[in-house]
Structures are given as structure tokens and as C-alpha cells.
Structure 1
Amino acid sequence: MSLQLSPGPTSLDRLYTAIGRMQVKHNFRCLTETDSEFPAGLAALLVTEDPQRNLEVLDACVILPEALKPLGDRISRLVAGPETAPALMQKYGIARAPAVVFLRDGEYVGSLNGIRDWNEYQVEVDRLLSGPAQPKPIGIPVRVATQQGACA
């Protein structure tokens, strides 16, 4: 009898599974490199990267949908996979993923980097969404190694 071993899922495989779950279960729309406009009204955009670089990325894929639940349909939900994230990180001055960028009618309102305590997350989300648009941060160059695309 021979035992055949196969490799387990990679960190990117786990991320793509999490993004797919966000799309199906929580109505997130996956941004592609050709998307140039954001929906009208409030929007929350999760910016990801390879979880092997930062395991918090997978946590954010679970926490953000739950944090946005109380807002119902009042907020559009978006996610950027690792192939789209570098340009968005540069555009919004994000030093590392995961980060959530909040927009109102396409205008930058603010962002949250990393994972936060649940209460802090809720207070910050409330503050950002009820506050005025902010000047967009100065972009920074970002380099991220990517594999296959997460959004289909």
C-alpha cells in the first residue's frame, strides 16, 4: 500500500476562499484592476495581501463583515485582492494590509489599518462614517508579490 501525500492549501488559496465567502455570504464586490469608480454613498473597502506576510489579513476577512452588519444596506462592501491592493495602498497611503478604506460618494473619508479591539473598531467605523471627507493621504510606493487572481 502506498500513501500519497498532497500539499495543503497555500496562504493565497486560503485568502481566495475567504474572499469568495465574503462575496457570497456578505455581498462584498471584488475590485479588479480595471475598476475606476466606487459606488455612490458609503463604502468600505478591505485591502488585502498575501496572508503569509501578515496573518491578520485572514482575520480581517472574518471581522469586517461582522463589524459592518449593523449598517445593513447603508454601506457598500468592497474587497481588493492582492493583485489589486498595491495600487490602492499607494493611492490611499496605506503602509500595510489589512486596511479598511472608507469612502463616501467615492471621496476618501479615512482608513483603519490592522486588526482592532471590537469596541474600538465600532467606535472608529462610526466616527469615520459620520465625519466629513478627508484629504487623501500622500501615496507611497508599495511592492507586493502576487500569484493568481482572487476575484472572479
Structure 2
Amino acid sequence: MTHPLITRLTSEFGYPQLETMAEVADFTGAPGVHVIFVPGDVARNLETPDVAVILPELHQAFQGRFDCAVAGDMVESELREAAKVFKTPSLIFYRDGQAIAGIPKVRDWSDYVERITQILSLPVAAE
């Protein structure tokens, strides 16, 4: 079951829904910082719709300094395992195809702003 607020991310905001690890690799391997929203089981996790509403607000607040996508059901567990971010919903941040940080569960706005500011200021890994 997909929640209407998650569907809104792909339909209204145009975030890609990543259904395969190849799609994840293409999305995260592009230049820049990328965020994958991992919704988890929306029927069991009441915070998922909240994060689905917050993500576009964060994208706007940070003036597009990262792009966003939604993890499909088939890749969720592999993404969580690879990034070591096990709680959902979560936002997993990537640069150069590598997970660099995750923010699990819903947070206060100030916590999101502080943590994302720190994530965006992380140095780029040496080639």
C-alpha cells in the first residue's frame, strides 16, 4: 500500500521512484548530493507521511542543494543495510554513489536543518 503523500512526491514533485539497485546507482552516482527517502511500512509506521511532507520543504529550504528520490519496496532493505540506517522512515544522503549519512525517523525542523547543514559540509572523499 502506498500512501497518497508518498505518491505526491513522485507525481507532484517529480522525484524518481527507484525500484532497482541499478536505478539507485544511477541516481546516487550523478554529480552532487542526493537523498533517498526510505518510507518503510506506511501501515505500521505513522511517521512516514510526516517525513513525506517534510522532505519537499527541506529541499526548498536548502535551495536544491540536493536532489530527492523515493525508494521502492524492492530496494528498501538493501539500502538500509548498505547505509546502516535501519529505522524507517529515513532520509539517506549520498555523494559520489556512496551513502554519507542518514537521518532516521521524524525530527524537529531545527534538528533537520542542523544535521543537513553538517551533511552538506562534509568533505568530498579524495579520488
**Which range, TM-score by smaller chain?**
0.7 to 0.9
Q: Is 1:30 matched up with 2:17?
A: yes
1:67-82 equivalences under 5 Å are 67-82=58-73
Indicate the residue corresponding to 1:106 in structure 2: 97
How many residue pairs are counted as aligned between the two chains? 121
Q: How does 1:3-152 map to 2 (within 5 A)?
A: 12-14=1-3, 17-33=4-20, 34-35=22-23, 36-37=25-26, 38=28, 39-132=30-123
Letter in 2 for 1:29: P
**Structure 1: distance between partners of 2:119 and 2:74:** 27
Unaligned runs of 5+ in 2: none
Q: What fraction of aligned residue pairs are identical, expressed as a percent?
A: 27
Once the two structures are superposed, residues 56-104 of structure 1 have per-residue CA deviations (whole angstroms, 9 ceiling, x without a partner) of 1111111111111123333211110333211111111122211111112
Cα separation, partners in 2 of 1:109 and 1:97, compared to 1, 3 Å: same
Structure 1 or 2, whichever has the larger Rg, is 1
Provide the C-alpha distance between the structure 2 equivalents of 1:81 and 1:56, rounded to a whole number of angstroms: 17
**Secondary structure of the corresponding residue to residue 12 of structure 2:** helix
Q: Which runs of 5+ in 1 are unaligned?
A: 1-11, 135-152
Q: TM-score, normalised by structure 1?
A: 0.71
Q: CA RMSD in A?
A: 1.8
Amino acid in the other structure paired with 2:80: M
Question: TM-score scaled to structure 2, two decimals?
Answer: 0.84
Deviations 1:4-24 (A, max 9, x none): xxxxxxxx242xx32321123
The 3 A distance-change label for structure 1 pair 30 and 123 is same
Distance (Å, rounded) in 1 between the aligned partners of 2:36 and 2:123: 17
Distance in 2 of aligned mates of 1:51 and 1:90 = 19
